[in-house]
Structure 1
Amino acid sequence: MNQTFTLKEKTKQIFVLLVPILVTQLGMFSMVFFNTIMSGRYSSSDLAGVAIGTSIWSPVFNGISGIFLAVSPIAAQRFGQNKKEEVSTVVKNGIYLSVIIAILIIILGYFFLNPILDYMDLSPRVHETAFDYLVGLSYGLLPLFIFNVLRSFIYALGKTRVIMIIMLLSLPINLVLNYVLIFGKFGFPELGGAGAGYATAITDWVFLAMTIFIVMKQDPFSTFRIFSNLREFSWERCKEILKIGVPMGLSVFFETTVFAIVTILLSKFSVTTIAAYQSALNVVSFIYMIPISISTALTVLVGFEVGARRYKDAKQYSWLGIGVSVLIAIGTGLLVVAFRYQVAGLYSNESAVINLTANFLIFALFFQISDAIQATAQAALRGYKDVNVAFIMTLIAYWLICLPTGYLLANFTSLGARGYWIGLTIGLLAAGICLSIRLIHIQKHRFTVEAAQQ
């Protein structure tokens, strides 16, 4: 990354980082997309099982990944300060944390997965598919978590194309594995929706292998010597990562948990409703990769400028990123609404599922705009390493606004399942507004004062 001086240069810098991150995010989400599409083609029960499995796994994965994302702003600020050795130490301890957390998640899953599924009172076929799908995914936890730490390190240096290339090379492998394991082709066992979990786990190991090779062999990553002297464990560095990463992770966790809870609440409805909701959510989440990618770039750029004490540039990046995110959300939301039946047809052959999915997608426009604001405002705050207040704001928005509003609208009005979409949109908009106000406060007071004291 280089210092920029004009809005034009900053816009270009955002897109230089953004495009590879977006391709990577879309590629990673494509694995979930393929899981859902192929499982739906296998049977509606398998689609519902994968949907339930995903609703359980997504909050856990996104929450834990939020912890590893802390490596990016910390490393970016150290990089902006030209403290190369400290960047290496942060990444090494991030790897230690990833191994510890992966082991803990596997142990917890062993004891609590079946009780959670039993509590949901699913049909035997859906229960079995959800369980086997999650077991398959568990074999990829360790490589996935380590990969996320290394990805955050690579992003902190502004070299986002590297991860994009790894993703593009791995994606065809995942697609083929999905095909052969779900449908039992070329002599492989026919596992149905569960096969998607095993395919994803194998792909995670491929991700990690390629990433380690590049970090060890290619400049500028090899100069940081990440995998030399891994005994440099520092509890202080781990605490620094956790201090920023835990609020980040919890914020992501509680956001994704809201969607998971909605899926669970919808389980009292028919399999058609569950499948339609998951399909619509899959579409919205796929598009959400754009503001998420902008957010990742924004955290790195703001962190880099703050580390270099260029607070005016950090402020300009923050609002430029939010503006770009909202404009793109409006455009993609309008496209989804316009072609909702065609999009819904990708997920199922059943007319009932298609019609209900298309109906859900009408809410995509307002949902996307609200989500774009809150995601990028929160990302800018992460670049300033201001995460605690943001966490409280999102917690209130998700759990005291999203869920209660959605539940009331779904159960005490004629809206039914559609009420949950309205509740989610209102809550996300509230989060976006509050986070934007917090960003203004941080920029106007804390860093304006610090800049004046230099």
Structure 2
Amino acid sequence: MQLSAYTTEFRTNLHIAFPVMLGQLGHVMVGFVDNLMVGQLGAAPLAAISLGNSLVFIALSLGIGFSFAITPLIAEADGSGDLEKGRSYFHHGVILCTVTGIVLFLMLLLAKPILYHLDQPPEVVDLAIPYLEIVAFSMIPLMVFQAYKQFADGLSQTKYSMYATLIANVVNIVFNYLLIYGIWIFPRLELEGAGWGTLISRFFMVWFIWEILRRKDKFRAYFVWSKKELLKSTIFKRLLALGFPTALQMFFEVAIFTGTIILAGTLGTNAQAANQIALNLASMTFMIAVGLGVTATIRVGNQKGLKNYTNLRRIAYSTFLLVFLIEAVFAIGFILLKDWMPTIYIDDVEVIVLAAQLLIIAALFQLSDGLQVVILGALRGLQDVKIPTLICFIAYWLIGFPISIYFGREEHLGSMGIWLGLLAGLSAAAALLHYRFNYLSKKLILKEKNVVVEPVA
């Protein structure tokens, strides 16, 4: 197949992905703004945000993983023109995400004492606990927002969650500024002020997306709730069958990044602050890939509903090629700007030097990180989640993390060794997930061709 068969899909891919990219960047920008403003208070508060968010990110990965089950089911129902089925998935998804948000909030509160047993600097833990308590509560509105977002994404209407996220970022910046530094009539709360800014902005996101979706003709029919179909165990089982493995996939990846935070903390406050800077920068470029991953889920899900498997494979590979090219540009940018970007966060010379070293490795794993998340999105569109979950576990925890532990010791490579483990795990995941998609898509095409050549009875 000629290259143009894939590049002709770039325009459509970007049309769907661009709002998702901006929306996902908006989520990361909440962390970026928190890091930027708190970084002005010193290395210890910056390290405390990193430590507090280490637990939040694990909870967030589980929650978002569950919500991701909504998108391929909505996309398939939309592709086959089944409004009733799509509406049922939407309603059950909202209920599931709300319950998940409450459970995650309670889990984070119960998990707080863990921070005292991770060999972290005591002053960092003391700062992190109050921040964690506030941000933990924001899991509830965030998960409700995710339900509406994934529903709209499944209908290829990705711009509305982007609007909600970007405007919520403005809300977050305003309240961060007022509450961290104690401007005007507001108290100076420092690190806790960043937590309150995040909480307020996430409640705003829920209100905004609910208000805008219910008023649009495209969505109005989905907002008709019927008591008869409100609670169906078969629908919840379908959502959980897709959502639980997806949650584990995200958990395995986010947990290894969280592991780097904990390992970096054992090397000292400066190492942990540098690790946080590099992670925050890498996560911003990763959100571009997440946007294309959602696009792959939507478009593959649509083609699955249409049972057009040849086109499904071509479209999926167009997203793989596109993310490879985009991440290659980011990789070059990280290498060229590695000495400057950390200075945006902090003026501590030692932290800046350490972060610049980590950005070299971050540049290298841009390609594999981007590819693995987009291939996972395509597999999710096929509703294939169990084997990819096993692949993620093997890549991150049997390959990547042992390398991080061994080479991340102070007597070996320190922070650089920790990130070499990330590079190995992400590269293994990308290779194995590609093998899985290649196998499944070829199998579906053979099935499609066999159906076509069968004589009509």
Q: Give yes or no for contact 2:45–2:127 (8 Å, CA) kept in 1.
A: yes
SS at match of 2:339: helix
Question: CA 1:69–1:49 in 2, change beyond 3 Å: closer, same or farther?
Answer: same
1:285 to 283, 286, 290: 283
Residue equivalent to 1:240: 238
Q: Give yes or no for contact 1:311–1:451 (8 Å, CA) kept in 2.
A: no
Where does 1:225-304 land on structure 2 (aligned, <5 Å)? Answer: 225=223, 227=225, 229=227, 232-304=230-302
In the alignment, the residues of structure 1 paired with residue 109 and residue 370 of structure 2 have an alpha-carbon distance, to the nearest angstrom, of 36
In the alignment, the residues of structure 2 paired with residue 131 and residue 26 of structure 1 have an alpha-carbon distance, to the nearest angstrom, of 26
Residue equivalent to 1:310: 308
> Structure 1 residue 202 and structure 2 residue 177: aligned?
no
AA aligned to 2:145 is F
Where does 1:75-154 land on structure 2 (aligned, <5 Å)? Answer: 75-113=74-112, 115-154=113-152
In the alignment, the residues of structure 1 paired with residue 109 and residue 11 of structure 2 have an alpha-carbon distance, to the nearest angstrom, of 47
In the alignment, the residues of structure 1 paired with residue 355 and residue 268 of structure 2 have an alpha-carbon distance, to the nearest angstrom, of 13
The alpha-carbon deviation at position 111 of structure 1 amounts to 2.4
In the alignment, the residues of structure 2 paired with residue 206 and residue 361 of structure 1 have an alpha-carbon distance, to the nearest angstrom, of 34
Question: CA 1:173–1:419 in 2, change beyond 3 Å: closer, same or farther?
Answer: same
The alpha-carbon deviation at position 32 of structure 1 amounts to 0.7
TM-score (norm 2): 0.95
Residue equivalent to 2:18: 19
The alpha-carbon deviation at position 179 of structure 1 amounts to 1.0
The alpha-carbon deviation at position 451 of structure 1 amounts to 5.2
Question: CA 1:413–1:376 in 2, change beyond 3 Å: closer, same or farther?
Answer: farther
String of CA shifts for 1:22-41, please: whole Å, max 9, x gaps: 11111111001111111111
SS at match of 1:316: helix
In the alignment, the residues of structure 2 paired with residue 414 and residue 57 of structure 1 have an alpha-carbon distance, to the nearest angstrom, of 30
Residue equivalent to 2:347: 349
User: Comparing 128-137 with 392-401, which one deviates more in the overlay?
Assistant: 128-137
Where does 1:211-226 land on structure 2 (aligned, <5 Å)? Answer: 211-225=209-223
1:452 to 441, 450, 456: 450
AA aligned to 2:185 is G
In angstroms, what is the RMSD of aligned CA positions?
Answer: 1.7
AA aligned to 2:197 is A
Where does 1:404-419 land on structure 2 (aligned, <5 Å)? Answer: 404-411=402-409, 414-419=412-417
In the alignment, the residues of structure 1 paired with residue 406 and residue 285 of structure 2 have an alpha-carbon distance, to the nearest angstrom, of 27
> Structure 1 residue 56 and structure 2 residue 55: aligned?
yes
Residue equivalent to 1:441: 439
Residue equivalent to 2:455: none
SS at match of 1:212: helix
How many residues in Structure 1 have an aligned counterpart in Structure 2? 449
The alpha-carbon deviation at position 270 of structure 1 amounts to 1.4
Residue equivalent to 2:190: 192
AA aligned to 1:244 is L
User: Comparing 134-143 with 400-409, which one deviates more in the overlay?
Assistant: 134-143
The alpha-carbon deviation at position 271 of structure 1 amounts to 0.6
String of CA shifts for 1:379-414, please: whole Å, max 9, x gaps: 111110011000000100000011111222223863
Q: Give yes or no for contact 1:182–1:194 (8 Å, CA) kept in 2.
A: yes
Q: Give yes or no for contact 1:50–1:194 (8 Å, CA) kept in 2.
A: no
Q: Give yes or no for contact 2:38–2:45 (8 Å, CA) kept in 1.
A: yes
Residue equivalent to 1:71: 70
Where does 1:388-403 land on structure 2 (aligned, <5 Å)? Answer: 388-403=386-401
Question: CA 1:72–1:230 in 2, change beyond 3 Å: closer, same or farther?
Answer: farther
AA aligned to 1:181 is L
Question: CA 1:392–1:153 in 2, change beyond 3 Å: closer, same or farther?
Answer: same
String of CA shifts for 1:338-374, please: whole Å, max 9, x gaps: 0111101011111111111111111122111111121
The alpha-carbon deviation at position 172 of structure 1 amounts to 1.0
In the alignment, the residues of structure 1 paired with residue 314 and residue 421 of structure 2 have an alpha-carbon distance, to the nearest angstrom, of 32
SS at match of 2:286: helix
Identity score, percent: 27
SS at match of 1:42: coil
The alpha-carbon deviation at position 228 of structure 1 amounts to 5.7
Residue equivalent to 1:431: 429
The alpha-carbon deviation at position 182 of structure 1 amounts to 1.2
2:157 to 159, 164, 167: 159
SS at match of 1:186: coil
Residue equivalent to 1:368: 366
The alpha-carbon deviation at position 96 of structure 1 amounts to 1.1
Question: CA 1:8–1:285 in 2, change beyond 3 Å: closer, same or farther?
Answer: closer
The alpha-carbon deviation at position 439 of structure 1 amounts to 0.4
In the alignment, the residues of structure 2 paired with residue 183 and residue 95 of structure 1 have an alpha-carbon distance, to the nearest angstrom, of 37
String of CA shifts for 1:305-330, please: whole Å, max 9, x gaps: 11111111211111110111111111
SS at match of 1:340: coil
List gaps (5 residues or longer) in structure 2.
Answer: 453-457
In the alignment, the residues of structure 2 paired with residue 412 and residue 148 of structure 1 have an alpha-carbon distance, to the nearest angstrom, of 40
In the alignment, the residues of structure 2 paired with residue 281 and residue 342 of structure 1 have an alpha-carbon distance, to the nearest angstrom, of 15
Runs of 4+ more than 4 Å apart: 5-9, 226-231
In the alignment, the residues of structure 2 paired with residue 335 and residue 52 of structure 1 have an alpha-carbon distance, to the nearest angstrom, of 27
Q: Give yes or no for contact 2:135–2:199 (8 Å, CA) kept in 1.
A: yes
Q: Give yes or no for contact 2:105–2:140 (8 Å, CA) kept in 1.
A: no
Q: Give yes or no for contact 1:377–1:439 (8 Å, CA) kept in 2.
A: yes
Question: CA 1:189–1:224 in 2, change beyond 3 Å: closer, same or farther?
Answer: same
Q: Give yes or no for contact 2:289–2:370 (8 Å, CA) kept in 1.
A: yes
The alpha-carbon deviation at position 452 of structure 1 amounts to 2.8
In the alignment, the residues of structure 2 paired with residue 230 and residue 426 of structure 1 have an alpha-carbon distance, to the nearest angstrom, of 50
Q: Give yes or no for contact 1:216–1:226 (8 Å, CA) kept in 2.
A: no
List gaps (5 residues or longer) in structure 1.
Answer: none
In the alignment, the residues of structure 2 paired with residue 269 and residue 285 of structure 1 have an alpha-carbon distance, to the nearest angstrom, of 22
String of CA shifts for 1:43-97, please: whole Å, max 9, x gaps: 2111111000111111210221011011000110011010011111101111111
Q: Give yes or no for contact 1:91–1:226 (8 Å, CA) kept in 2.
A: no
Q: Give yes or no for contact 2:88–2:229 (8 Å, CA) kept in 1.
A: no
